[in-house]
Chain A
Amino acid sequence: DGGITQSPKYLFRKEGQNVTLSCEQNLNHDAMYWYRQDPGQGLRLIYYSQIVNDFQKGDIAEGYSVSREKKESFPLTVTSAQKNPTAFYLCASSIRGSGSSDTQYFGPGTRLTVL
């Protein structure tokens, strides 16, 4: 079955700790994305990557970092510099990432709670 996996579904961390969220896809998509969703807000783009070893900041990149060493994987690290890290994090992928009609498909999400 092709798809996007994110793990774990729920994650708890203490304030001041860095935490890495995983995202894997076997759809052979070139582009991958990370979004954050907060109650009452639309999805907001954190980072995106159109190709291996390249990524770009989205609208709210401060306090986050990413890597794209393999086509299938795009992990997101939430650092201690992120002021309000508690949120629902969604990973997505699309075939090319270079056209405005490119449909993005989402993983199941990770709900991060920082205590």
Chain B
Amino acid sequence: GQNIDQPTEMTATEGAIVQINCTYQTSGFNGLFWYQQHAGEAPTFLSYNVLDGLEEKGRFSSFLSRSKGYSYLLLKELQMKDSASYLCAVTRRGSYQLTFGKGTKLSVIP
């Protein structure tokens, strides 16, 4: 079976740093995706982690610990446009299928 947990909502201040956590219990786990979704729009791909460690892409970084079943997305120098939902999704070995968490709605305030 699969279980993916993310906080429902978070609030952070413009210019600050925020960490959005995702924990999973997935048999045959292979990798983890992060997507950003603005309200009423399509999810857009942010990152994919399959190995342990931190992957950095500009203001966004994503971390994975396979042994702990844990990932986080780190957003630095927050901007108002970062207000969105952030979706964590896992894949299993040999499977095409993405299984999504319920998403974390981030509100960035001035």
Contact = CB atoms under 8 A, between A and B. Distances in A.
B43 A106 contact: yes
A42 B102 contact: yes
21 contacts: A31-B96, A42-B87, A43-B100, A44-B100, A45-B97, A48-B96, A50-B96, A88-B40, A90-B42, A90-B43, A99-B96, A100-B92, A101-B48, A101-B50, A101-B91, A103-B45, A104-B45, A105-B45, A106-B43, A109-B40, A109-B42
Interface in A41-94: 41-45, 48, 50, 58, 88, 90, 94
A100 B91 contact: yes
B84 interface: no
Given A41-B102, A108-B42, A58 B97 contact: yes
A5 B44 CA distance: 14
A109 B8 CA distance: 22
B103 A42 contact: yes
Contacts, number: 61
Interface residues of A, number: 27
A103 B33 contact: yes
Interface residues of B, number: 29
Contacts of B41: 108-109
B87 to A, nearest CB: 7
A40 B102 contact: yes
Nearest to A41: B102
B30 A42 contact: no
Given A42-B102, A43-B87, A97 B96 contact: yes
Query: Which 4 pairs across A and B sit closest by C-beta, in order of nearness?
Result: A42-B100, A106-B42, A100-B91, A100-B30
A88 B38 CA distance: 13
A17 interface: no
A48 B44 CA distance: 19
A42 B43 CA distance: 12
Contacts of B40: 88, 109, 111
A32 to B, nearest CB: 11
Contacts of A106: 35, 42-44
Contacts of A103: 33, 45, 48
